[in-house]
Structure 1
Amino acid sequence: MNAASPAPRRPRVRAPELVGKGGWINTGGKNLTLADLRGKCVVVDFWTFCCVNCLHVLDELRELEEKHRDTVVIIGVHSPKFVHEADHQAVVDAVERYEVHHPVLDDPELATWKQYAVRAWPTLVVIDPEGYVVAQHAGEGHAHALAALVEELETEHAAKGTLRRGDGPYVAPEPEATDLRFPGKAVVLPTGRFLVSDSTRHQLVELEADGETVVRRIGTGERGFGPESFSEPQGLALLPDGKVLVADTVNHALRTYDPETGVISTVAGTGRQWMQGQPTSGPAREVALSSPWDVAWWADRVWIAMAGVHQLWTYDPATGTVAVAAGTTNEGLVDGPADEAWFAQPSGLAAAGDRLWLADSETSALRYVERDGDGFAVRTAVGTGLFDFGHRDGDAAQALFQHPLGVTALPDGSVAVSDTYNHALRRYDPATGEVTTLATDLREPSDAVLVGDDIVVVESARHRLTRLRLPEEAVRVEAVAHRTQRAATDIAPGRLQLDVVFQAPAGQKLDTRYGPSTRLLVSATPPELLAEGSGAGTDLARELVLADGVTEGVLHVSAMAASCDDDPENEYPACHMHQQDWGVPVRVVAGGAERLPLVLAGLA
């Protein structure tokens, strides 16, 4: 079967129950069942808070959630990748941090994930008012299709008398009074004061040199893209002209703030998220960005950690232009020439002489960019890939971090790493190749800045700045190593049929006006797992050949499909991009599956 053809009609499938040992959040203490949701259109969002694509989907769902508040219930099922994400309080924090205004089931053991046969973050499952699964979508870019499906379900079930209108089960938590709320990044101003991105409150906050006394708040405090509004700002960098550049993350924009005049200006981005096929260079205000997470001044321009597309971009204030500087948009850890490198949610930057250090969060890696002839190259100092993480000191070849979000250049040439999910501040010394631990018992540190002989850490989940004296000796920590725990798929040796299932949503068709509208990229860890079938192509179906002697590994699959509204009367139909990356753990065994279906949109 051609994977892009319409899926065959299948028997109705009753939705499995929603269960998870972590319990429910945003319900006022009530445990929900599917019976409690009968009569509503239910969208189940399988997410994890480390995943930037999941955060994109949270933002995509906000309009649907507001417009159909009396008929639609969104249920988040938090399904962790990292060990830290299985901590219930960390999930509670994330729900507040990202303003999740619907019930969330904490499923630390992936029980509901398995019942729904989910294979990737994020995945959306739609359940009709009678309790049957009617659609599944992996990845982001499905908001338009979901809105159309919800309207169909509302019409159908209103006519049948099975639609129940009224308030949903969401119960807002009590707000807590703190000066900062999940701060992201900080910078020291020429005055000695701190400027902090107060991410959850959509503001910048200027603090006195003590790191505690609030001088002023910048921004309205309401999510928005107005002249004085931000949306979850993160990275900050001082520019040569004295202004502060702000990575306005969820507005997909760069803004400047002038500490002298208080003026906020937009210098890059359109306010909308970049999608595959759109321009990647040009006038900065005309090119879309995607979740810029941090910024740094290096090599005579601003470098941008573009977490949303796994790349580094640059912004040149002199010419008012942006451009891709490194990365292919493929997610992973691949070094080499900048235009061939792979990243995975780069989230922290620090300039240090001839190197630009970066925290590559999803690979739990410390990496850097350096000049290479007339261009740039990417190298890895610590880290091995998407699925290995932990807290282990020692030689860099075997040291481990867990989802670091910040890096800080130290005076002796070493680098401090805000090792976020290990609640620690770590140090890498390029001279010795050793990783040590500087401090523990922090709470989700996301950045740090130097002030004299002290280092001031942004303790994001403690909502404060914490001043530490740089220790002469490292802290001793017992080594712990982890690997992402997900059930492996048993596959048969020899040939494996890979099908990415994509069914264009109702009212849409594949966009073939400019050539193939689909893309498929396949690779493996270890690379020796695949004897044939790796690489890029346009067909969503591919036969893979597994190598003899390799019994387990991870298949990395990246798929994209473009669809447009199917309206012959509209000369300029709206087009929609659907994309997703999968990392599928596999085990090669006799009698295993000979076909691996992955749902991009439709039902497998």
Structure 2
Amino acid sequence: MTTTESLRSTSRVRASALEGRNWLNTGGKQLSLEDLRGKIVILDFWTFCCINCLHVLEELRPLEEKYKDVLVTVGVHSPKFEHEADPVALAAAVERYEIHHPVLDDPELQTWQSYTARAWPTLVVVDPEGTIVAHLSGEGHSNGIEVLVEELIAEHDAKGTLHRGDGPYVAPPAREGNLRFPGKVVALRDGGFLVGDSGHHRIVELEQDLQTVRRVFGTGVKGYADSSKHDDAASVSEAGSDISRGAQFNEPQGLVLLPEAVATEVGYDVVVADTVNHRLRGINLTTGDVRTLAGNGVQRLLDTEQARKEAPAIGVDLAEGLENGALDVSLSSPWDVVWSEKAQRVIVAMAGTHQIFSFDPVSGAVSVFAGTGLEGLEDGAPEGAWFAQTSGLAADAAGDIWLADAETSALRVLRLAEDGSVDRVESLVGQGLYDFGFQDGAAADARFQHPLGVTVLPDGSVAVADTYNGAVRRFDLASGEVSTLARGLAEPSDVLLDSSVEGEPVLLIVETNRHELVRIPLPKEALRVDEGSAQVTRPRTPVAAGQHDLVVRFAAPKGQKLDDRWGDPTQLKISSSPENLLVEGAGTSVGLTRKLVLNPEVTEGVLHITARAAACDGEPGGEIPDHAACHLYQQDWGIPVLLAEDGSTELTLDLRGVN
């Protein structure tokens, strides 16, 4: 391992053909690498369920704009879940996330295999002559890629092989309507609703009929700005309602209405998870004011010294001692929020770091509520629990917090102690990162597919927005059974018990890909669905039984050095499915090399590998300056393997810093 290794590949390998089912954002044209000759090309291997992939989309936007005459990004969509292989769902995702570059639909992972991708996201940089010059896993590489792009511009300008001009992107037609890819919904006390209108980057207040717009918070253009009713930019809607036009959001998702007493004390009524701005925002429904409550806009990467030493600091106020308190704390893609009466705090699904946070509106305290930051499904004490892109929250009558854990397709619960802290984490439905399906029955056998929303029903059972199955499911705590309440929905992202109608309460569902909210009655008899369980299907790597050498390569970025102040700053955590696939080598230990022994009696399985490395600002060989920014680099791999006599006996992965 070295801290001076270059981003550039030392070998010259020709880029492979781009093969798949179809192209999007090209005006119907089928592209080839030959069409892109003369341009610097970034191949972004992504899948639309993956929060890290969404982070990379945001990281690449400034590069695409700055170098638009010489750089072309090509998104290669290589799906993880079955639903993501649906071309209609992919087209909706490309529109929803405002992707302004060509996208290759690669449902059979043909191009994924050609470029030996092993993780989402993976970035491959191809020079103007069609040679691969860098191969990277994970997020956080934009600075290093910019340096490389500058090098390639200078080199190929001099050679005459760089062609300037417009790229192949063709914009799709704009969509009209009140809502565009709505995410989450919350009921107001007067019978209306607030909706996170994520595709329009705003918050919309609807009448009880779910159609009439009362007010809009936000300009409708993505960005970040607070505002008040008295701003010069404020205006009046056609219906005569105040619209706070000065405020800006970026793909807002979760919303929670604070208890009246708390709202009166703090001066705002609603907390918004402003997801892509990495902030919590507050809305005063009387004045229309929008303010920032927490977050500095810089994506959190588990990069503090405290995270290194205490990992994680459960219950410690991350804002304490900071000049601007909660406004100085880094967050990462907060996706949902819920009020906990027991904890007297807002609980936050911090999807970007796979953790649960809490926010105290009165004191401004921000703390880690549960989770190590490692991605996966691990129950137990809050300081040891693993989550995976938690995207939906709900509190029950006992004060416990239910979680829709999207990437593990799981329904989980935080059991809260009397003092409002987390006593333990439990999983009721779900097996892990690579198991999903559409199957009812006993909880141990039931399967979801990337659920995003959850709510508690009057009888104490839990309804789940089973997003990629297009369904609303029900978990009965008393019987331990899962059933189906509704299906045929278009990516339902939230579900709410609606008591604003006459008669019995109904389910209010956010149908994201139909751009609307719908009501359905709670069925007297639930459906029983059994379409089977499944695992993520990717090409299996042939490996030999017996001893293997695992090496994870890492190079600290230029201007950084490995942070060895508390010992070895690197770590590997390894497990397998099935568990007996690994005879030796499982567990967590420092270092980025490991001897593995594979069981010859197991024919196939998945190796689960998590690598971490910590580096701080400072030059190699020198001291780390006081108050230097420190960074934790992490990548997770799930590598399907097939035991074969002529299989490999070594495995090399890249957790590369960028220079």
What TM-score do you get using the length of structure 2 for normalisation? 0.87
Which of 351, 360, 370 aligns to 1:326? It is 370
1:16: which partner in 2? 16
Which of 407, 410, 420 aligns to 1:362? It is 407
Query: Matches of 1:585 and 1:233 in 2, distance apart?
Result: 35
User: How do residues 389-428 of structure 1 correspond to structure 2 at under 5 angstroms?
Assistant: 389-428=436-475
CA deviations on 1:134-169 (whole Å, 9 max, x unpaired) are 001100111111111011101111111111111111
Structure 1 unaligned residues grouped into runs of 5+: none
Contact 1:458 1:466 in 2 (8 A): yes
SS in 2 for 1:549: coil
Contact 1:565 1:575 in 2 (8 A): no
Structure 2 unaligned residues grouped into runs of 5+: 227-246, 264-268, 307-312, 320-325, 500-504
Superposed CA RMSD in Å reads 2.2
User: How do residues 181-196 of structure 1 correspond to structure 2 at under 5 angstroms?
Assistant: 181-196=180-195
1:289: which partner in 2? 331
1:439: which partner in 2? 486
Kindly, what percent of the aligned residue pairs are identical?
A: 55
CA deviations on 1:48-87 (whole Å, 9 max, x unpaired) are 0000010111111111111111111000000000000000
When residues 11 and 288 of structure 1 are mapped into structure 2, their CA distance, relative to the original with a 3 A threshold, is closer
Aligned: 1:353 with 2:429? no
User: How do residues 191-590 of structure 1 correspond to structure 2 at under 5 angstroms?
Assistant: 191-227=190-226, 228-240=247-259, 241-242=262-263, 243-278=269-304, 281-283=317-319, 284-298=326-340, 299=342, 300-354=344-398, 355-371=400-416, 375-452=422-499, 453-504=505-556, 507-508=558-559, 510-512=561-563, 514=565, 515-547=567-599, 549-563=601-615, 564=617, 566=619, 577-590=632-645
1:56: which partner in 2? 55
Query: Matches of 2:300 and 2:476 in 1, distance apart?
Result: 36
When residues 12 and 435 of structure 1 are mapped into structure 2, their CA distance, relative to the original with a 3 A threshold, is same
Contact 1:20 1:111 in 2 (8 A): yes
SS in 1 for 2:49: coil
Alignment-mate amino acid for residue 233 of structure 1: P
SS in 2 for 1:338: coil
2:237: which partner in 1? none
When residues 206 and 509 of structure 1 are mapped into structure 2, their CA distance, relative to the original with a 3 A threshold, is closer
CA deviations on 1:527-559 (whole Å, 9 max, x unpaired) are 332232223333222212224533322111122
Deviation at 1:198, TM superposition (A): 0.4
Deviation at 1:387, TM superposition (A): 1.2
CA deviations on 1:311-332 (whole Å, 9 max, x unpaired) are 1111112221111111111111
Q: Which has the larger displacement, 510-519 or 490-499? A: 510-519
SS in 1 for 2:655: strand
Contact 1:17 1:34 in 2 (8 A): yes
2:141: which partner in 1? 142
Q: Which has the larger displacement, 46-55 or 580-589? A: 580-589
Alignment-mate amino acid for residue 95 of structure 1: V
Contact 1:5 1:502 in 2 (8 A): no
SS in 2 for 1:343: coil
Alignment-mate amino acid for residue 15 of structure 2: A
Contact 1:360 1:366 in 2 (8 A): yes
SS in 2 for 1:181: coil
Aligned: 1:102 with 2:95? no
What TM-score do you get using the length of structure 1 for normalisation? 0.95
Deviation at 1:524, TM superposition (A): 2.0
Query: Matches of 2:208 and 2:137 in 1, distance apart?
Result: 46
Q: Which has the larger displacement, 588-597 or 377-386? A: 588-597
SS in 2 for 1:96: helix
Q: Which has the larger displacement, 179-188 or 466-475? A: 466-475
CA deviations on 1:215-247 (whole Å, 9 max, x unpaired) are 121111121121111111101111113411101
Deviation at 1:338, TM superposition (A): 1.4
When residues 565 and 102 of structure 1 are mapped into structure 2, their CA distance, relative to the original with a 3 A threshold, is farther
Query: Matches of 2:3 and 2:18 in 1, distance apart?
Result: 30
SS in 2 for 1:336: coil
Contact 2:600 2:643 in 1 (8 A): no
2:39: which partner in 1? 40
When residues 72 and 575 of structure 1 are mapped into structure 2, their CA distance, relative to the original with a 3 A threshold, is farther
When residues 112 and 16 of structure 1 are mapped into structure 2, their CA distance, relative to the original with a 3 A threshold, is same
When residues 323 and 569 of structure 1 are mapped into structure 2, their CA distance, relative to the original with a 3 A threshold, is closer
Alignment-mate amino acid for residue 327 of structure 1: G
Query: Matches of 1:342 and 1:3 in 2, distance apart?
Result: 30
Alignment-mate amino acid for residue 16 of structure 2: P
Alignment-mate amino acid for residue 59 of structure 1: E
SS in 2 for 1:74: strand
When residues 574 and 35 of structure 1 are mapped into structure 2, their CA distance, relative to the original with a 3 A threshold, is farther
SS in 1 for 2:215: strand
